[in-house]
Amino acid sequence: MSQRRRFFPATRAQQIPGNTVEVEFQLQPEAQAAAEPSEPGACQCDIYGAMWSIDILQSGDGGYGSIYIEKAEFQDSRLVSGYIWIPSMEVSGVQIRASLLGRTLCDVSWRWELNTPPPPSGDYTVVWDGVEIEEQGNTVLVTVLPGEYFGTSLWFAELKLTAICAGEEVATLNMNPGFNLQNLYM
């Protein structure tokens, strides 16, 4: 509903006695009140997703070995597609970085589950030096430390990382590092 108001000029503008002019104004609706300030420490996460990035620490070239790393193609926070083949004679380690990406991130933490089955039995030995996991804010640095590995059967471990933002699970990344004859599979 519009209100009608009368405005009276400070100086006399009417020059002809007996004539009147009526002016009508429509007032703009009042601006909405500012939102209540949120509680100190309260936060909301606006997440784009989570991703892996891969860095080979050291490798030789040519020869008998190779590294297989799954392509960094993502669908719903999961790696998909095939493998990248990288020739290598020896590998001293691979660093994989899991990152949570978003417009606003607060109170980010990670939970991880590492399932390492016993090495396969047979006519070969498998020595896996292990995985180091280091949380660094919105990223987790996973270092795969291969030892000496021989044999023809694959041996896969399972690593599951879950990103938590503002106390809520927002993304999950899975990885299956495994070893074969001078090959590191990711």
pLDDT per residue, tens digit, the chain (186 aa), is: 556 666 666 666 667 777 777 767 677 777 676 566 556 567 888 888 888 887 654 444 433 444 444 444 445 555 444 444 444 444 456 677 889 988 888 889 999 887 766 655 554 444 445 667 888 888 988 776 655 544 444 456 677 889 999 888 998 888 776 544 344 444
CA dihedral sign, ordered 173, 70, 133, 131: positive
Cα–Cα distance measured from residue 165 to residue 167, given in angstroms and rounded to the nearest whole number: 5
What is the DSSP track for 72-117?
A: -EEETTEEES-EEEEE-S-EEEEEEEEEEEEEE--S-EEEEEEE-P
| 76, two tokens | 């719903």
pLDDT at 60: 40
Q: In the CATH scheme, what is the code of domain 53-185?
A: 2.60.40
Hey, where are the domains in the chain?
53-185
Cα–Cα distance measured from residue 174 to residue 119, given in angstroms and rounded to the nearest whole number: 20
- Please state the φ and ψ torsions of residue 107, each to the nearest 5 degrees: 50, 50
pLDDT at 184: 43
Cα–Cα distance measured from residue 112 to residue 157, given in angstroms and rounded to the nearest whole number: 13
